[in-house]
A and B are shown apart, each in its own frame.
Chain A
Amino acid sequence: MGRTLAEKVWDDHVVRRAEGEPDLLYIDLHLVHEVTSPQAFDGLRASGRPVRRPDLTLATEDHNVPTIDIDKPIADPISRAQVDALRRNCAEFGVPVYSLGDVEQGIVHVVGPQLGLTQPGMTVVCGDSHTSTHGAFGALAFGIGTSEVEHVLATQTLPLKPFRTMAITVDGDLPAGVTAKDIILAIIARIGTGGGQGYVLEYRGSAIRGLSMEGRMTLCNMSIEAGARAGMVAPDETTFEYLKGRPHAPAGAEWDAAVAYWRSLPTDDDARFDAEVVIDASTLSPFVTWGTNPGQGLPLSASVPSPDDAVDDVDRVAIERALEYMDLVPGTPLREVGIDTVFVGSCTNGRIEDLRAAASVMRGRRVADSVRMLVVPGSVRVKQQAEAEGLDQVFRDAGAEWREAGCSMCLAMNPDKLAPGERSASTSNRNFEGRQGPGGRTHLVSPAVAAATAVTGHLSSPADLEPNAGSI
């Protein structure tokens, strides 16, 4: 019987297999950031162990870094301590690190792909749940805990029990204005935040094939919000096109050898998945979340749900609690929900294509007086590219703030936070209570919806805006 993409990647990384024991899997790339690594390095130090392969390890500073005044010392002592510890640890153990101010610095899941370090058929881990992003290249990529970070640092392997596989097939033509973010929000709303538990998801079908690499990364990024261990898209010409010429991509004869291998990876026709979900792309539309988990989403054209819509008692309590926290009244059209802050950025939607999408809506328009809009590129390279294309000027002219690279308001570990009670439309991935600041309320949206919302001051899609001579 044939094998799935995930199974092929797994099989090609088994270092040791023994009856009744987990497989020992080799890790091709270990990404590190300042929040989950200090104790792992401390553990190595305590046991006198070196990092086995610093040359397969890469660190960057992202979660805690400020997005303004980055030439000044980090003000928050805890943030500064974590960043300082990372720098010290990387120096001591010989791990390459891209620090604040470096041209390669940025969010760990933006940096790996843009350097060409994330390639098809690789195993990629990081002490961060959104490592699933890298699955967009057909890599098996997943988040790990701190003791596992130490394990990979010391051995470049992990003992792992096999995952199950789930195919999510999105076939058909996407209606205009529907993006990867809308697809994944619709998928999570459909299967639930636990629907992917224990699975590696493989996104398939014509609508997925039609997505750019940026779109595929958005999709895979949020696999974890469906409870999945990882998400993957089979490599194809779009993947190869993106990789070619990147700093760490193979070149010359090695490129040909690599592509030949990559072409062998897609799931065989006779392979079987443990579960399957099919979605008709033509039924999708811009999606937004109304509640406090990423599964609580609806089409923008819908209204705030009522506890009476609940499928069971647990769901009823969840809806009631979310409505109370979000301060929403059942039956209110989502388009009428007023927004205070718009955040464009994060490892979900902080790439150049995302900024282009938001800028194309903002061009020639203004951020509503009642709204503050933060645009935070996912990496310094993304920022430079956007500036070369004049996107920063578009945002500034519209009245938005153009910031330095980092995680920023995605999780509010740095000074970019919502005030209690403040409501955001955010292109990030988590709308948990307090995620963007204590008491803050988050609606997850695509970059295009974020931009349109900034203009109107309430949840909107670009189609809701008056035609504008300056916009494309």
Chain B
Amino acid sequence: MEKFVVHTGTAVPLRRSNVDTDQIIPAEYLKRITRHGFEDGLFAAWRKDPDFVLNRPEHAGATVLVAGPDFGTGSSREHAVWALQDYGFAVVLSSRFADIFRGNSGKGGLLTAQVDQSVIESLWAAIEADPDLLVTVDLEQREVRAGDLSAPFTVDDYVRWRLMEGLDDIGITLQYSDAITAFEATRPAWKPTTVG
């Protein structure tokens, strides 16, 4: 996983609340067998509407999603995080995230930065006025900046540390490989293996 310290990019204003994971990626995309390539499923139902904000040319290439409250509710599918990342998003800003979605995001390396709804409103207005506005999300300072706006965001300490170190769960555990090897040496010989 790449280290995440400061991210700067253009943003998409998603003026919707209670965006559940079935909206983020509908169930029909879950039958796939790959870990990547879910960008076409992101907000699939909404994207059928040519006016949907993600379809507007001025927001092409955006990497920051500015969403309404209660983002990521519903079923616990990890594909929701994958779809957002595959589409190119590195950060989602919202005033409230669903717990499981937030947990999955932390695992997957997608930053979910929680800000006051007033900040979301200001960002929506600013981005709509200037779609090229660069939004900076500074994980070190826990601060989001855009134009003359600057506001703090909250993020779980442990998740912040992991993102800044660029460590996924597996990477963290592999730091303890010696302990795992030592444990394996103590396992009784009669414990079964699946071969022979």
The chain A residues found within 8 Å of chain B, CB to CB, are 15-16, 24, 26, 28-29, 38-39, 42-43, 46-47, 49, 52, 54-58, 78, 81-82, 85, 96, 116-117, 119, 122, 145-147, 150-151, 154-157, 159, 248-250, 254-255, 257-258, 261
Contacts and interface: CB of A to CB of B under 8 A. Distances in A.
Interface stretch (B9-17, B62-70, B185-193): B185-193
Interface residues of B, number: 31
Given A55-B194, A151-B169, A26 B180 contact: yes
A155 B172 CA distance: 10
A16 B35 contact: no
Interface in B137-196: 168-170, 172-174, 176-177, 179-180, 183-184, 187-195
Q: Which 3 pairs show the lowest CB-CB distances between chains A and B? A: A38-B33, A42-B35, A250-B190
B78 interface: yes
A16 B189 contact: no
B78 A117 contact: no
Contacts of B118: none
B173 to A, nearest CB: 5
A283 B142 CA distance: 60
Nearest to A121: B191
A147 B169 contact: yes
Given A56-B193, A58-B194, A122-B191, A78 B169 contact: no
Contacts of A145: 76, 78
Interface in B1-60: 31, 33-36
Given A57-B194, A117-B194, A151-B169, A15 B179 contact: yes
B108 interface: yes
A146 B188 contact: no
B183 A26 contact: yes
A216 B20 CA distance: 38
Interface string B89-119: 0000000000000001001100000000000
A54 B187 CA distance: 16
B190 A257 contact: yes
Q: Is the interface of B mostly helix, strand, loop or mixed?
A: loop
A430 to B, nearest CB: 15
Contacts of B193: 55-56, 248
Contact of A49 (B33, B34, B170, B195): B170
Contact of B174 (A28, A155, A250, A255): A155
Interface of B: 31, 33-36, 76, 78, 104, 107-108, 168-170, 172-174, 176-177, 179-180, 183-184, 187-195
B75 to A, nearest CB: 12
A151 B170 contact: yes
B35 A46 contact: yes
Contacts of B170: 47, 49, 150-151, 154-155
Contacts of B108: 147
B44 to A, nearest CB: 17
Given A55-B194, A56-B193, A122-B191, A78 B76 contact: no
A155 B173 contact: yes
A16 B174 CA distance: 12
30 contacts: A15-B176, A16-B179, A24-B176, A26-B180, A29-B194, A38-B33, A38-B34, A42-B35, A43-B35, A46-B35, A52-B180, A54-B194, A54-B195, A55-B193, A58-B194, A82-B33, A145-B78, A147-B78, A147-B108, A150-B170, A151-B170, A154-B173, A155-B173, A157-B180, A159-B169, A159-B172, A248-B193, A249-B192, A250-B190, A258-B188
A257 B188 contact: yes
B195 A147 contact: no
Given A55-B193, A258-B190, A85 B169 contact: no
A313 to B, nearest CB: 22
B195 A39 contact: no
Nearest to B192: A248
Contacts of B76: 145
B180 A29 contact: no
Contacts of B184: 26, 156
A183 B173 CA distance: 40
A103 to B, nearest CB: 16
Nearest to A94: B195
A97 to B, nearest CB: 10
